[in-house]
Amino acid sequence: MSTAAGEAARRRTFAVISHPDAGKSTLTEALALHAHVIGRAGAVHGKAGRGATVSDWMDMEKARGISITSAALQFAYRDAVVNLLDTPGHADFSEDTYRVLTAVDAAVMLVDAAKGLETQTMKLFAVCKHRGIPIITVINKWDRPGNEALALMDEIAERTGLQPTPLTWPVGIAGDFRGVLDRRDGSYRHFTRTAGGATIAPEEVMDADAALAQEGDAWTTALEESELLEASGAEHDQELFLAGATTPVLFASAVSNFGVAALLDTLVDLAPPPADRPDADGKPRALDDPFSAFVFKVQAGMDTGHRDRLAYIRICTGVFERGMVVTNASNGRPFATKYAQQVFGRDRETIETAYPGDVVGLVNASALGVGDTLYVDAPVTYPPITTFAPEHFAVARAADTSKYKQFRKGMDTLAGEGVVQVLVSERRGDGAPVLAVVGPMQFEVATHRMEHEFGSRISIEMLPYSVARITDAESAPEIAKARGAEIMTRPDGEVLAVFTDKWALRALEQNKPHLTLTPLVAAQLA
Ligand code: G4P
């Protein structure tokens, strides 16, 4: 096998996703700990009292203890090379998360045992389904009182349509986590706590007799429940998992490092390696084709010391060698990959060579935008990354009008990075662009960055709109006259009609059916 396909076969590229607070940062840390990337939990994403976070480029992240920025962590585990892509941790549905999910081959969905499926969990399940991403589900915080395991399985089946196929089953109810029954070989994995979960939790493997002797009724109950599952067909089937019909389930306590080794093993054993990727025409591009990749995230100002702009690419085919000159399919221009880095939080390491499934951060990437395809030799274009229909709109104004240049530059940069959509309304003019977002948190990020990175404090005035449609120059004048509607133009020239609510839109559609009002992809349906 050639290098690219051979190396790709060893890759597992995934993201951990969850509703905020389910334990994503804690699990990320625990995974890094197991893979010996870090020596102590708390080094990657520590919150207050757990050491410094690596993703604290922005003061705001520090203040809120969340990670908005995202990058990738690569580590070796068994014979595999694991790429863990970081996703933003904030509460809104975020386009950023969606973009990261275009770059992974699998996702780990964390569910809080006490809370079950939450709003964001449901959206993320839907996004993965939409993109055909196989999901491994981890029921976290089993060390704390929570729901019954069987009830959680029912909830997953009923609300997501995915058949849960537990690989492990908890011994001891939520709050009394003793270990797990490994359903594949019937063994018992008994956990031992370490102080504060800061080091790898020792795991003792026992056979069924020893487990019964040690755990008594808790073991018997686990066995009985596991048999119930078997009878209901909740057994892992690799094809159904990859087809997105089932989700393997593991039980864990990320904070005590319980079940983390099982998750890594499951990723290596079951998660799919990178596969041939269809281009914009639907033609699969072979892993062994010459180098090609696409930009899934652009980010600037992560560090006040480095005012650079980074573009993160996911390699689809071929071998990346630092220094190679690639072509940007969106404009045919060359891009020299002189500075290529692996970036996870504060750590940056130069990358010399990378393979399909890997993520490379390209420095000085002001010419690259989200969705751009890069290639060498034969031209390739991968499908564009979906832009979601904005649901929140606000006018942005420079607080200090003498800083108009900084204001303009900041707006252009944020728009280019996809932090917010920047629309222009004839009614308001160039000096008062309208920021359009899917989640209102994006306003906060934009405001913060405008002030701290571009030296332009802005004021934000919320607009009463919530629905957007694509229209055209012919329909626009008539729509502009309607009640509760306004016309705005996107930087790509697309004309948007925005409405206060769906009733305003519906009234117009009914009264004037000749108008062009095409829906955009809604985040809810994603
Ligand atoms: P997120 O990134 O998904 O938002 O979640 P994060 O890891 O920050 O975890 C949210 C809270 O849940 C943290 O508590 C964390 O310690 C706790 N947590 C994570 N995994 C587990 C687990 O398996 N069991 C238990 N009992 N708790 C867990 P916090 O009070 O917000 O922060 P901290 O002071 O504990 O660091």
Look at residue 340 and tell me whether its pLDDT is greater than 50: yes
State if residue 88 touches ligand 1 by the CB under 6 angstroms criterion: no
Please, which residues have CB within 8 angstroms of residue 49's CB and are 6 or more apart in sequence?
none
Known binding residues are 86-90
Known binding residues for GTP are 86-90
370 vs 181: which has the higher pLDDT? 181
Residue 21's alpha-carbon distances to 215, 221, 251, 470, 525, in angstroms, are 31, 30, 17, 36, 24
Look at residue 158 and tell me whether its pLDDT is greater than 70: yes
Task: Output the pLDDT for position 45.
Answer: 43
In this structure, of 30-44, 160-174, 198-212, 386-400, the range with the lowest mean pLDDT score is 30-44
* Phi and psi, residue 268, nearest 5°: -70, -40
Q: Which of 16, 27, 33, 47 to mutate to test the pocket of ligand 1 (most atoms within 8 A of CB)?
A: 47
Task: Output the pLDDT for position 58.
Answer: 46
Look at residue 64 and tell me whether its pLDDT is greater than 50: no
Look at residue 74 and tell me whether its pLDDT is greater than 90: no
**Residue 490 has which token pair?**
């996107």
pTM for the structure as a whole: 0.85
Give CA–CA dist 305/227, Å, rounded.
58
**432-476 tens-digit pLDDT:** 999 999 888 889 889 998 998 889 999 999 999 999 999 999 999
Distance 214 CA to ligand 1 centre (A): 29
Out of 138-147, 302-311, 405-414, the most confident range is 138-147
Look at residue 66 and tell me whether its pLDDT is greater than 60: no
70 vs 258: which has the higher pLDDT? 258
Atom 6 of ligand 1: nearest residue by CA position: 23
Task: Output the pLDDT for position 41.
Answer: 43
Q: What mean pLDDT value characterizes the chain?
A: 87
Look at residue 145 and tell me whether its pLDDT is greater than 70: yes
Look at residue 61 and tell me whether its pLDDT is greater than 90: no
Nearest to 85 by CA among 58, 66, 108: 108
State if residue 53 touches ligand 1 by the CB under 6 angstroms criterion: no
State if residue 111 touches ligand 1 by the CB under 6 angstroms criterion: no
Look at residue 500 and tell me whether its pLDDT is greater than 80: yes
Domains and CATH numbers, the chain: 3-275 (3.40.50.300), 278-375 (2.40.30.10), 392-519 (3.30.70.3280)
Residue 206, SS3? strand
Q: What is the mean pLDDT of the segment spanning 87-113?
A: 84
Q: What sign results for the dihedral spanned by CA atoms 226, 231, 237, 242?
A: negative
State if residue 22 touches ligand 1 by the CB under 6 angstroms criterion: yes
State if residue 120 touches ligand 1 by the CB under 6 angstroms criterion: no
Give CA–CA dist 410/427, Å, rounded.
22
Out of 424-428, 489-493, 498-502, the most confident range is 498-502
Q: Which of 26, 118, 191, 193 to mutate to test the pocket of ligand 1 (most atoms within 8 A of CB)?
A: 26
**Residue 442 has which token pair?**
């994006």
Nearest to 47 by CA among 29, 32, 31, 33: 29
Task: Output the pLDDT for position 349.
Answer: 75
153-170: buried (b, 16+ CB within 10 Å) or exposed (e) per residue?
beebbeebebbbbbbbbb
Look at residue 26 and tell me whether its pLDDT is greater than 50: yes
Out of 68-72, 85-89, 118-122, the most confident range is 118-122
The single-letter DSSP state of residue 238 is H
Q: What is the mean pLDDT of the segment spanning 211-224?
A: 97
Look at residue 67 and tell me whether its pLDDT is greater than 50: no
Distance 255 CA to ligand 1 centre (A): 7
Atom 36 of ligand 1: nearest residue by CA position: 47
Q: What is the mean pLDDT of the segment spanning 47-70?
A: 41
Residue 291's alpha-carbon distances to 245, 332, 474, in angstroms, are 32, 15, 43
**265-296 tens-digit pLDDT:** 999 999 999 999 999 999 999 999 999 999 99
Look at residue 344 and tell me whether its pLDDT is greater than 90: no
**368-394 tens-digit pLDDT:** 888 999 999 999 999 988 777 889 999
Task: Output the pLDDT for position 54.
Answer: 38
